[in-house]
Each structure stands twice: as structure tokens, then as C-alpha cells.
Amino acid sequence: MSKNRNLQVGVVGLGFIGPAHIEGIRRQGVEVHGIAEFTPELAREKAGQLNIPVAYSCYEEMLKDPAIDIVHICSPNFLHFPQAKQALLAGKHVVCEKPLTITSAEARELVELAKTKQLVNAINFNLRFYPVNFEARHMVNKDDFGKVLIVQGSYLQDWLLYPTDWNWRLDLDQGGSLRAVADIGSHWIDLVMFITGLKVDEVFADLKTFYPIRKKPVSRVETFSNKEQSVAIDYEDKQIETEDYGSILFRFENGARGIFSVSQMSAGRKNRLFYEIDGAKSAVSWDSEHPNDLWVGHRDRMNELLVKDPSLMSDEGKAVSSYPGGHAEGFPDTFKQLQKKVYAYILKNDFSVEPDFPTFTDGYISLQIEEAILKSSQTCSWVKIYE
Amino acid sequence: MSKNRNLQVGVVGLGFIGPAHIEGIRRQGVEVHGIAEFTPELAREKAGQLNIPVAYSCYEEMLKDPAIDIVHICSPNFLHFPQAKQALLAGKHVVCEKPLTITSAEARELVELAKTKQLVNAINFNLRFYPVNFEARHMVNKDDFGKVLIVQGSYLQDWLLYPTDWNWRLDLDQGGSLRAVADIGSHWIDLVMFITGLKVDEVFADLKTFYPIRKKPVSRVETFSNKEQSVAIDYEDKQIETEDYGSILFRFENGARGIFSVSQMSAGRKNRLFYEIDGAKSAVSWDSEHPNDLWVGHRDRMNELLVKDPSLMSDEGKAVSSYPGGHAEGFPDTFKQLQKKVYAYILKNDFSVEPDFPTFTDGYISLQIEEAILKSSQTCSWVKIYE
Amino acid sequence: MSKNRNLQVGVVGLGFIGPAHIEGIRRQGVEVHGIAEFTPELAREKAGQLNIPVAYSCYEEMLKDPAIDIVHICSPNFLHFPQAKQALLAGKHVVCEKPLTITSAEARELVELAKTKQLVNAINFNLRFYPVNFEARHMVNKDDFGKVLIVQGSYLQDWLLYPTDWNWRLDLDQGGSLRAVADIGSHWIDLVMFITGLKVDEVFADLKTFYPIRKKPVSRVETFSNKEQSVAIDYEDKQIETEDYGSILFRFENGARGIFSVSQMSAGRKNRLFYEIDGAKSAVSWDSEHPNDLWVGHRDRMNELLVKDPSLMSDEGKAVSSYPGGHAEGFPDTFKQLQKKVYAYILKNDFSVEPDFPTFTDGYISLQIEEAILKSSQTCSWVKIYE
Amino acid sequence: MSKNRNLQVGVVGLGFIGPAHIEGIRRQGVEVHGIAEFTPELAREKAGQLNIPVAYSCYEEMLKDPAIDIVHICSPNFLHFPQAKQALLAGKHVVCEKPLTITSAEARELVELAKTKQLVNAINFNLRFYPVNFEARHMVNKDDFGKVLIVQGSYLQDWLLYPTDWNWRLDLDQGGSLRAVADIGSHWIDLVMFITGLKVDEVFADLKTFYPIRKKPVSRVETFSNKEQSVAIDYEDKQIETEDYGSILFRFENGARGIFSVSQMSAGRKNRLFYEIDGAKSAVSWDSEHPNDLWVGHRDRMNELLVKDPSLMSDEGKAVSSYPGGHAEGFPDTFKQLQKKVYAYILKNDFSVEPDFPTFTDGYISLQIEEAILKSSQTCSWVKIYE
């Protein structure tokens, strides 16, 4: 009998990202026992659509259900903190969407609470789990890569290009005081720290809101779904206080330099995270719109191009690949791979072992960096992270 | 309550492709009730690994279980015919891996049996279900594409490059008298017929076995796993009667010309299906190693590049996309999308409607073409399909 | 003083390709002494545009000019044979555009005449001279590439896509009885023979004229310039007897298989020659629309991607590169590199040495293969080349 | 007779870039009359190699030669100012390599001198002259592109990756106090200003010297040739005061944001300039290692990919294309196209017309921005350009 058999999962929040969690969970033969939503009606509707056995009347009910071992938090950003805190207090392991919280102080509270409660805590920095990103980490840490010198990249989308594009993330109260940086920039920052193993020492940022006024539709809009609106809708003017775009410079602890742009207004870029990491001997680069390819740059011999292939990869890369070479894995697969490591860790039941997945601590570091980015943008100066 | 709720699936064959079926089934909230394998022990072992409730002692036992609505046949090729026939006779709907059977006569028998029994029958030509392939079909059928003139392409792999590479597919008795053509070429042929809507009229083929003798390891080897062998193993010489490579020319019913190469010995190509379809006004091309991109060629304006994005696609393309633009979908997603259509069709329970997924008839046509290819190769002449 | 100083070149034919020759010649500091055209007026007009000292009243006058060492023949195909013959008889070295002649019998006559006359003879298979093609040849001939097994590819253009597209090449009398195969297919065939060093043993072809009637404008049209026509023009119907498209299969002397498609009706492909050469250990592929990149495929390690870089290339590749790594070289550079080798050979004045550029012999072989292709297409059977 | 006939050009400096100028000049049928170098011997040697009629004993002699209409200055950076000044004073038109001078004050002096003397002055920002860059400019300035919002990019090379790499540009006295920024960064800055038509308002920079000590070979090394050194050589330690790398942020006059990284230590990037310009409606991006491709991004329809093709381009793009669609043009072609415009302008002899090529004014602006970059890097603050 498989070790995963008895894990039972509850999911709160069934917008864009909740169903992606559910697919991943199910692929491993782990049961999604029940879900919770803003209202009991919505929970029942989503449970019906997604074939979930239980629709809880509210989140609190889910937390009281002893059948639930793990809670996946997929709600809007401002709910992550209270919901994660409640879950930990209820003795549940937690997989939380990013950002972990709105402030780093909240994040620190969660880190400490999880530690006290001895509960497994994961944050869904899922992009690490494209197999070639594990492979990139393996390569960057080998001697023949050399010291990391430069970390470059961008995370670009176009779904908020027009002043008529709307989503709850544009609302300061629901999304927090950073938007592009928090929603997608945080993925890039986490990913390059994961791959290089380097800490960010200080940041300099220039954030820009191209549309200080946007037009909000009167009815509710799910993330990404705005682009498929076809019927005429009513709008109201809304002041926007979060950034559409950011330029961010980094100085890493080892002296390496970083440069990163993040945008939700780059026409034609649907969801493109790009990085290039330049070492003293070699380089790697990756583009999330072609996620099975890894470019490896060399000075003295031909560059290399890895098409994801377990037979050509290290044990680390293999461990997060499910399909043979040339069989493309995609965005949904990253959820499965992250969860697989989290669940295996829970079942192993030895929490003295360093987790091999992103934890609340990563979420906390991420928020510290984001707060420094915001401060830098406001003060036009370099801001240290750990002060 | 979702319509999928009560469907119960059984899977036979848990080599490389069976688990891919299972992931797809589960992602839809449909239960994999039980599995069967060569031996009861193997079934139990796989059921444990994959968290499957029931491990049948044999395939026959699965067919007798009234809980099972649908059987997925994922066994080696030579078992497809007897297992599909048994399943239909037992009143189960069937999703069969390709090739449907070894001979077209067998395939025709299954087509007729399924019709008599009024059972849903699908063949897993899953590659159709990359969203941009549906979009390509949509484009090719629009007036501004023009009449299809040329269909070009290849399906290339490298996992049988060395004479020491071995797999059951190399064995004439298990795999059939065509190998590269049947295993992967059939996908290409089905895909271009699906997209263009054209029937193949005649074929000309030149098949080649570069290694008439290969070295077979004494122990069993799963598909694709040979490439990860690291320890020294014992071999025995085996005569190879199936092709490592094929060049195939097509003449389509509308006068269009086709050209296709298929190889399992092309170094560096892990699993690359490529097509280019040239119409009288525009062209499309696609490469399965970058499955979210579709190239659209024009004469009088810039070429276009679609990055899979439901907001930019037709209803047909949208229907098989689960994630927003730029969120890569991959090989495992194609299983889910195909099954989703099959299961919806079963639940709708109106078999007078033309199925919107590949059926045994497609498997039969595929075998007719393959037999013509083999005959052409033996006679060095053009061979008509329908005679 | 440089050895090239005293060479004086004459060019006949100043359509699309003549000026490309002239640029190449001049880049080496070699003087284009004079040109000839259909009429004295046209010669003067072109000489004025191109800053050429002498406009001969006719080709014969050019041949009589003792100042001329070398003649470049850039006229329409049907003139290559008489003009090359005259030039050799006049004691001039010859660089001839391809195809060398209309028939292989004519080509053989030229090969023999050049030999008798002890004159340097080159044919402008310029595509060999992209630096990475020399590098591909170097790689293919190394032990770690293994025996060549498969040669795949295509040469696709779209400039004759519409039935209203016209060019002298469509005219049987001026272009010869093969069109796409002779004009561009011949480049591909020469290139893969150059890289692999293999001779073609037999061919099978399926040629297709999609538009048996085309509309010819009443006024004259230069090659490629049709696509820029904007004004309405008068047309007359013309019967087309040459192929718009061809599928061609090859069997090489070592048992390798070849497959090639050639088309002037593939929308979006402006001028794309593609090859992939699969060896028993590695593979190479190249695309003329990205001519500085060479893909190298491997089974047991990552694929490689060479961006043209003399510092990473063999002596052979370096010798035909003028610019450092990453400084793209293009179509016009291939003319310069070919001519550089031809002129150096002339100046070295030792004709016992094997030429390191394509000669009339290559032009002759090319025509033999083309004639076999035509015959195969007519007889629907494999045709041996050397019989 | 062509208008270019009588122009006579002199070239000073025959290192890496001088011969590239010469090829371009010759391709137009313009004569390179003579050259000058550091020593008469070197001039004679280079003249012999390059088939140049006259080798001047010194630069002053060239300037005295009344046959010379135009001087191309291809010397090391520190000589640009004195040589350009002398040339203007001698009444010669000047085409100068970039950077125009070491300081912006010198550049302003040259701008004024050229104006006073009524002489044509060009700076070799040749990268503008890839045809698709002219096309990008055309697109960005059309209404359907929208206001420019974001300008992103990088210019990366790897030829100074190792501490043993050496070149005169590393020497503060010869190259100036900026290196990567001045040598290659200046190309990027000029190019994006050219395409967008926007002025830079202020900059923020973080420059980094990864190797404060490099090893200088005792013998002389030409640009880029270090990578081909194979024999052991003697080194001496040299302190490096110029940057290996720079991160630069821009604020443009219209509120647009810019972000740019420049590096000579990025393994595998041979000479890669990349930009992406995001407008309120569409976007364009380009990569100099694939210089014939232009990507055009859209939000509401498929992205586009232009393969350089005069028949698909605007008059501006066509004017700098010499070859038909799909016939790749490269780095050397940009020299030809720039010179073609300069020479035509000279021959037209109406200096009241706005030049359609980069002039000393562009070189001056470039230096102003570079000085602001240096100052920003030293002060860690945003620095305005025009103060």
C-alpha cells in the first residue's frame, strides 16, 4: 500500500489557482477531501464542477474536520495570513499560495507559529519545479560553472495592458501595496535565489504605474479571464496605487549583480519568466514559455541546449521529471512535483530533516525583499534587506 | 453534482503509458477503480505505487466487475486486439492505445463489434489534443488558408540509436511487422489527417533497418528506460525485421502531396514530431518539443506565432486548453483533454452524435495506411489505400 | 603587394545574382573590369548604376578583351552552356552560376573542355560557404559522428505561391525542364553531398505542378521582384510544364537514406534551406534563414548549438569566416568566400592541386542527379544515377 | 555614370573594424584610395593585404592628399577626437567609429567644428542599419503601436570573461573611463533612441569590475583575437578601472522606463544585443545574433515574426535591404548601408537637409548619457542628462 494513501487534503479558494492545485494533488492518488469558498453556495457549485466529495459551508468548518491533514490556501492574497494562521492553530499542515502574507511581520509570525506547532509549511513557488530549473541549480553549483557573477531576467505578462483590464489584484486592499513585483516578480526572485543559492544583500528599484486610473467593471472578474471578455460591460474609474512595471537591481551577498524587469503590460508576452545566470566559467538561461529547454552558455566550446530528458539529467532533475525526454511537461506538472515532495516529507514524519521544497521561510524572505524594493522605490536609494 | 462523478475506469497495462492515462483520468475527478497486469503480483505492486483501490488478479476479472464502465487498454501492441474485443463483448466502453490492432482486418472487426454493441470506442491519438493542434485544424479549414497543397514533416526519436538499445517493440511478435511507422509514424499520419481533413489516397515508402542485428538484454526493459541504464548487462543477438527508419510519400485525395520521415535513430531528437502544412494562401507548422507554439506562414504579410492562449483561440482550441496564455501545457495534458471528451460523450449517452475524439475507425484507417506503406516498401511502388 | 591585385574580372548577366557576385569580388579588392548584358544599352545602364569601368557592347567583346582573366556567368540558365563554352575557348577562367547547363551531356562537354584548356572552372554553389556548413562537414567527418545514416531536409520558398507570380524561370525554354529542383533543390543536393562526402546512388521522385496554367505579365519581371509589384498589370495565360513542388527520396552509396522536399509555394518560407544529417553517434542540422547557427544533436549528452565563432571552429570553418563570434555573416558573404578560394587557386597557378571549391564536375554530377529525378518522376520508379 | 564614381575615401586604423569599413565602401563601387596606420610599415603591410592603392606614411599625409574626400576613422578610441578634428580642419568629410570622443566636451567641439566647416559628419552606429531595425522604427512610430512604455534589453559578450583576456580597450588611457558601456552599451542606447525617437531624461547605474586585476600579455592583441590565442604567453598584472558589467536604468522624456544590462563576461553570448520595446498597444523585440528576425508582440491577436523581406517592409526598411526575403544580411552589410546613405548625402550636396544617418550630434548625445551613467554609478543616484 502506498504511503500517500491516507493523506486527505482540503483546499480553500477555487479561483484560477485552486483547480491547478487540485489537479496536482489528484495526479498523485491523494484525495481532495473537501473545499471551502467565500460562500457555501460557491463551494457547492465548485465542488460539483470539480467532483469534490465535500463542500464545507465555511473555511472554519474545514479546519474543524479531523479528516483533513493538509490545507491548501488558494484565496486572494489578503486572506493568506489569517487563513494560514488559523490552519496552523487548528493543527493542519499548510501549503500556501504566494505571497505568504501582506507584510513580512505577518510572515515571520507564521514561520514561528509553524515551528512551534511542528507543522509542515510550504509556499507554492511552483516554478522551481520545472525539471530543468532543478537541473540549472545542479549545474550552477558545480565547479565548472564558476562563481555566479550576473543574474539577469524579467517576468512579463500582457493581461493588464489596457486601462480597461481589471482584477482583484489591482485593488490595494486585496492584493497589497505591491502588485507586479509581489504577484510575479516574487517568483523570479525566489527562483534565482533557489538556483544560485545566493542571498540578496540590497536592492534598488524604480516602480511605475502607467495607468494611475483604471476602469473597473462592475461585475467580478477572475484572474486572466479579462482577456476573454467579449460583451460590453459597465466600468467605474478606480485609482491605482500599485505598480504596472518595475525595474529592480540587486546586489547579492557574494558580490554578484542582478537586474530584473517585471511587467504586466508587455504586449505579446503572455506569461514569460526569463533568467540568465552568468558564472565565471559558464552560464544558463531559461524561458518559462519554453519550459523544457535549458540553454547553457560556454566561452571555449559550443553552447548547449538541454531538452528536458531524465536520461541526461542529474538525480535532482530526474526526481522532478515524470516523463521521458522530449515529452513536454508544463505548468500543471510543477504543482504535482512540488506537492509530491511536500507530501513525502509529511509522510516521512521526521521534521528535523531540511525540507526540499519552498517553505514559509522562503515566503518570509521574499516579503523582506519586496518591502526593501518598495522602500527603495520610494527613497530612490539602495536598500539593504537584513536591517 | 458533476456528470463525471459516477464513471469508473479500469486500466490494463502499467508500463510507460498506463500511468499517463491514470493521471489524466484522475485530473478530471474520475476514479480509477482498478488495474490489471500480466500477473496478480505486478498488478498489486503497481496499484500500491499508484494508490489504486483494486488490483485485479487478471484482465478477465476486471471485465467481470460490474463497477467498471470503461476500460483503458495500455498493454503491448499485440494484446490490443484480444483485449479490446473482450472488453466490448463484456459491454465495456474502451479507450485503446494505438495501434488499435496488428492488422487492419482485426481493426475492422473491432469497429463493427463496437457498432453492434453500441459502445463508445476511442483510440489514444493523444497528440491531436495539444491545444494549438486544434487551433491549426481550425485555421486550415478557414477560407483564408486556401486549399491544402503540401503536407511535410517528420517524427524523430533517438532512443533506439545504438545497437544495444532494446525494447519489446523491437520484437516482431509483440510489436508487429512495422515499428517506427506504427509506433510513432501513426501519430503523425493521424494528426495531419485530423488537421487537414484529407484522406490519403496512395503512399510510397522506403523503409530501412540500419541494424539488422541488435543486442537484447536478458532482463526486461521498459519503453524509454533503456537510456537510463547504467550498469553493465548481458546481451543476446536478436535479428531485427522491423524498420529503424522510413521515408514515406503521400498523395492525398485532393491532389495534395505529402512527405514524411520517421526515425528512432536520430541523435538529439528525443521525441520530436514536426509538421508543416502549406495551403494556397497560408501555412502552419508545429513541433511537439515546443508544443505551445504554432507558426503561421504568410506570403503577403508577416508570419505569425501563436503562443497557446485561450483568449486568442477559436472555440475549438479553447475547449482543449485548461490554462491561460503562456502557461505551458504538456504531454500529460493531452491525455486529460482526450479523456474529457470521451467521458463527456459517454455521459451524454447519445451515440448518434459524431464523436469529437479519435475512434476505432481512425485506428482502422491508420492500419490500412500502414499496410499500404509496408506493401509499398516491399514492392517499390505507389500503393493505393482503399482497394 | 597582394597577390589578388592583378586579377581582372568580367561579369555577364546583371539580374538578381550578378550584383551579388560583384559585391563579393570587390570586397576582396579584386576589380570588376567590365560587364556584358543582353543589349549594349542595358550594359551601360547597369555599369552606371554599379560603378563599373567598362560596359561591353556584347559578351563576345568581353571575351576578346585581354584584360579579362575570369568571367562570371550570371545569365539565365539556358545561356550558361554556350557562354561558358565560349569563355573557355577564349581562354578565360570561369565562375558559372548554377545550374551549369541544361543537360548533363552539355555539362560533361564543359568539364572536358575546361580540363583540356587547363582553365579554372567553378560553379556558384555558394551555400556551402556559410561558415557553419564548413564546420558541419568537419564534424560529420570526425569519428565521433559515426557513419551517416539519414539525410533529411527541404528547400522552401513562397515567391511563386500565387498563379499570378511570374519569372523567366517558369518558361521551359529559358529555365529548363526542371524548375524548383534545378533552381533551389540543386543547392540542397550539392550541400548535403559536400557535407557528407557521400554520392547519391539512386533517387525516387514525385514532382507536382499545382498550377498548370499561370498568368504571365506582359512586361519583364526580375527574380523575386514579383512580390513587390503593386500596380495592376496585364497578364496572359501560360501553360506550366515545370514542377512547383517535389518530394525526392535518395539512397546513398553507403546505404544511408535521404528525403527532401522542394517548393516554391510554401507560404511564409522566404528562402529556407533546411538539412538534418543523422549519424550513428551524433547529428547536425542547419536552417539557411538562421545561417550562423548550427545544431548538433547527441544521444548521451546535451545537444549543442554553435553560434558562428571562429574561435570555436576548426581551421576549415575559420577559413571561410571573416568576422568574430556573434557577428552575423549572411548571404552576400558566401559569394565572397567562394570567390576568395577560386581566386587564390588561380593565383597559386598549380592546377594539379584538388580545388577546394565547387567545380564544373559538381555541376555535372548535379545535372546527372536532376535528370534521374525527372526520369523517376516520369516512371514512378527508383532510378540509378550512374548508368 | 554613377554619382558615387568620384568619391575617394581614406581610412585610418586597420585593426578589427577598419577592414569592415573597407568592405562596405568597396561594395558600393567607391574607391578606398589609401590608408594610414601607426607606422608607415604597418600601413604598407595592411595595404598589401587589402589591395589598397596608397599607403600613407602617416595620417597627416592622408589629410594633405587632395584626392581624399572622406576620412573614415577606425583608430583606438583616444585618437578619435584629435583625428576627427584634424580631418575637419583639413576640409574632409568624416565617418568616425564610436565613441566619437572620450569626453562630451570634445564631442561638442567636433559638432560645432563640423557645422562651421559645413562638412558631413557621421558616426558608425552601424547596428541601426540592420534592415529590421529600420522596420522596427517604422512600426514603433505608427499609431497602432501606442505610446512607448518600456524599453528593455542587454548587450552581452564573453570575450573578456577570463582574467587572462586582454585588449587595448581595458587600458584606461586608450579606451576611456568607461568600457563595456562605451564600447557596446553605447550601441544599445543609440539604437533604442533611434527606434523610439525618445530622449533619455535621467539614468541610474550600477557598474561592476569583477576582475580589478587582469593579466596583460606582453605582446599586442587585436580586438576579439584573444579568444583564438593558443600558445602560452607571458603576462603582467594590470589594475582595471573600467567596468566589466553594468546595470543601467533609464527614464525617458515621455515617462517611459528603460532597463539595460551590458556585459563582456557573459559566457556563451558572443555578441548579442537584445531589445524589447513595449508600447501601449504592441511590442517589438530583436536579437543581433538573429538579425534578420523581428518579433512583434500583440495582446489581442497572434504575435508576428518578420523574416527580413523587402516585399513585406516599409520604404524605410526596404531602403537599407539589398537582398530578397530570406536571404540573410549580416554585420558587414550594416556598414555598407550606413555608408550608402552618407555618400549619397555628400553627393547630393545640400547640407540643409536633415541627415538620415547618425551624426556627430548622436555621438555627442551618447557621450552625455555615458557621463551621466558614470556619475550615477559613483553617486548611487539618479542623474539627469541635460543639466
Q: Does A17 touch chain B (CB under 8 A)?
A: no
C-contacting residues of B 241-260, CB under 8 Å?
A: 245, 247, 249, 251, 255, 257-259
Measure Cα distances from B340 to B315, B334, D130 in Å: 16, 10, 49
Provide the shortest C-alpha distance from residue B307 to chain D (in Å). Answer: 8
Nearest by CB: C51 against D29, D52, D325? D29
B279 pairs with which residues across the strands?
B148
D277 touches D151 (CB < 8 A): yes
Q: What is the pLDDT of residues C41-64, one digit of tens each?
A: 999 999 999 999 999 999 999 999
The angle formed by the CA atoms of residues D260, D261 and D266, to the nearest 5 degrees, is: 155
The angle formed by the CA atoms of residues A270, A276 and A282, to the nearest 5 degrees, is: 150
Q: Report how far residue A210's alpha carbon sits from residue D150's, in angstroms, rounded to the nearest whole number.
A: 10
Average pLDDT over residues B266-284: 98
Pairwise CB contact (< 8 Å): A267 & D150: no
Pairwise CB contact (< 8 Å): D268 & A297: yes
Whether the link from the prior residue into B355 is cis, omega within 30° of 0, is no
Residue D61, SS3? helix
Q: Looking at the predicted structure, is the pLDDT value of residue B175 above 80?
A: no
Say what the pLDDT of residue C154 is: 98
Cell numbers that stand for D129 in this block: 542599419
Q: Report how far residue A132's alpha carbon sits from residue C157's, in angstroms, rounded to the nearest whole number.
A: 36
Nearest by CB: C23 against D27, D288, D310? D27
When pLDDT is cut at 50, 70 and 90, the band that residue A387 belongs to is low
Pairwise CB contact (< 8 Å): B301 & D307: no
Say what the pLDDT of residue D267 is: 98
Cell numbers that stand for A205 in this block: 528599484
When pLDDT is cut at 50, 70 and 90, the band that residue A8 belongs to is very high
**Burial class of B41 by CB neighbour count within 10 A (0 to 12, 13 to 18, 19+):** exposed
Q: What is the pLDDT of residues A144-156, one digit of tens each?
A: 999 999 999 999 9
Between C310 and B232, residue with greater pLDDT: C310
* Helix residue spans in chain D (DSSP H): 18-27, 40-50, 59-64, 77-89, 104-117, 131-140, 172-175, 180, 186-196, 315-319, 331-348, 360-379
Pairwise CB contact (< 8 Å): A263 & D280: no
**Tens-level pLDDT at each residue, chain C (387 residues):** 233 457 999 999 999 899 999 999 999 999 999 999 999 999 999 999 999 999 999 999 999 999 999 999 999 989 999 999 999 999 999 999 999 999 999 999 999 999 999 999 999 999 999 999 999 999 999 999 999 999 999 999 999 999 999 887 888 777 678 999 999 999 999 999 999 999 999 999 999 999 999 998 887 666 666 666 555 678 899 999 999 999 999 999 999 999 999 999 999 999 999 999 999 999 999 999 999 999 999 999 999 999 999 999 999 999 999 999 999 999 999 999 999 999 999 999 998 999 999 999 999 999 999 999 999 999 999 999 975
D-contacting residues of C 68-97, CB under 8 Å?
A: none
On chain A, the residues whose CB falls within 8 A of the CB of D255 are 208, 210
Q: First-to-last CA distance in chain C? A: 50
Of B180, B337, B331, B169, which Cα lies nearest the Cα of B260?
Answer: B180
β pairing state of B303-307 and B293-298: antiparallel
Average pLDDT over residues B163-171: 86
Pairwise CB contact (< 8 Å): C150 & B296: no
Q: Looking at the predicted structure, is the pLDDT value of residue A4 above 60?
A: no
A100 touches A366 (CB < 8 A): yes
Pairwise CB contact (< 8 Å): C305 & A307: no
Cell numbers that stand for B214 in this block: 541488435
Say what the pLDDT of residue C219 is: 73
Q: Does A302 touch chain C (CB under 8 A)?
A: yes
On chain B, the residues whose CB falls within 8 A of the CB of A49 are 2
On chain A, the residues whose CB falls within 8 A of the CB of C300 are 312
Weakly modelled stretches of chain D, pLDDT under 50: 1-4
Pairwise CB contact (< 8 Å): B382 & C380: yes
Q: What is the pLDDT of residues A349-367, one digit of tens each?
A: 998 999 999 999 999 999 9
The angle formed by the CA atoms of residues D314, B298 and D318, to the nearest 5 degrees, is: 20
Q: What is the pLDDT of residues B20-60, one digit of tens each?
A: 999 999 999 999 999 999 999 999 999 999 999 999 999 99
Provide the shortest C-alpha distance from residue D328 to chain C (in Å). Answer: 5
Q: Looking at the predicted structure, is the pLDDT value of residue B227 above 90?
A: no
* Helix residue spans in B206-324 (DSSP H): 315-319
Element housing A94 (H / E)? strand A93-96
D-contacting residues of C 24-63, CB under 8 Å?
A: 26-30, 48-52
**Angle in degrees, 0-180, between the axes of helices B104-117 and B77-89, rounded to the nearest 10:** 20
Amino acid at C53: P
Q: Report how far residue D358's alpha carbon sits from residue D107's, in angstroms, rounded to the nearest whole number.
A: 14
Q: How many CB atoms lie within 10 A of CB A253?
A: 13
HEC secondary structure over A3-36: HHHHCEEEEECCCCCHHHHHHHHHHCCCEEEEEE
Listed in sequence order, the residues at least 6 apart from B290 whose beta carbon sits closer than 8 Å to its beta carbon are A290, A293, A328
Q: Report how far residue B96's alpha carbon sits from residue B106's, in angstroms, rounded to the nearest whole number.
A: 14
Q: What is the pLDDT of residues A13-32, one digit of tens each?
A: 999 899 999 999 999 999 99
Q: First-to-last CA distance in chain A? A: 50
Residue A210 Rama label (left phi>0; alpha psi -120 to 50; beta): alpha
Q: What is the pLDDT of residues A224-280, one digit of tens each?
A: 666 665 556 788 999 999 999 999 999 999 999 999 999 999 999 999 999 999 999
B341 touches B173 (CB < 8 A): no
Is this complex's ipTM strictly greater than 0.85?
Answer: yes
Amino acid at D364: Y
How far is residue D202 CA from its own chain's centroid?
Answer: 22
How far is residue D222 CA from its own chain's centroid?
Answer: 18
B11 pairs with which residues across the strands?
B35, B72
C261 pairs with which residues across the strands?
C154, C247
Cell numbers that stand for B280 in this block: 494556397
Residue in chain C nearest A314 by alpha carbon: C301
On chain C, the residues whose CB falls within 8 A of the CB of D333 are 330, 332
When pLDDT is cut at 50, 70 and 90, the band that residue A386 belongs to is confident
β pairing state of D293-298 and D282-287: antiparallel
Rg for chain C, CA atoms, rounded: 21
Say what the pLDDT of residue B171 is: 81
Cell numbers that stand for D258 in this block: 528603460
Say what the pLDDT of residue B230 is: 56
On chain C, the residues whose CB falls within 8 A of the CB of B276 are 266
Say what the pLDDT of residue C23 is: 96
Say what the pLDDT of residue D232 is: 60
What does residue B272 show for φ and ψ, rounded to 5 degrees?
Answer: -115, 105
Element housing A274 (H / E)? strand A272-279
CB pairs under 8 A between A and B: 141
How far is residue A176 CA from its own chain's centroid?
Answer: 16
The angle formed by the CA atoms of residues A101, A103 and A106, to the nearest 5 degrees, is: 70
What does residue B38 show for φ and ψ, rounded to 5 degrees?
Answer: -55, -40
Whether the link from the prior residue into A99 is cis, omega within 30° of 0, is yes
Pairwise CB contact (< 8 Å): D265 & A150: yes
Of A21, A208, A240, A224, which Cα lies nearest the Cα of A122?
Answer: A21
A18 touches A11 (CB < 8 A): yes
Of D178, D104, D107, which Cα lies nearest the Cα of D385?
Answer: D104
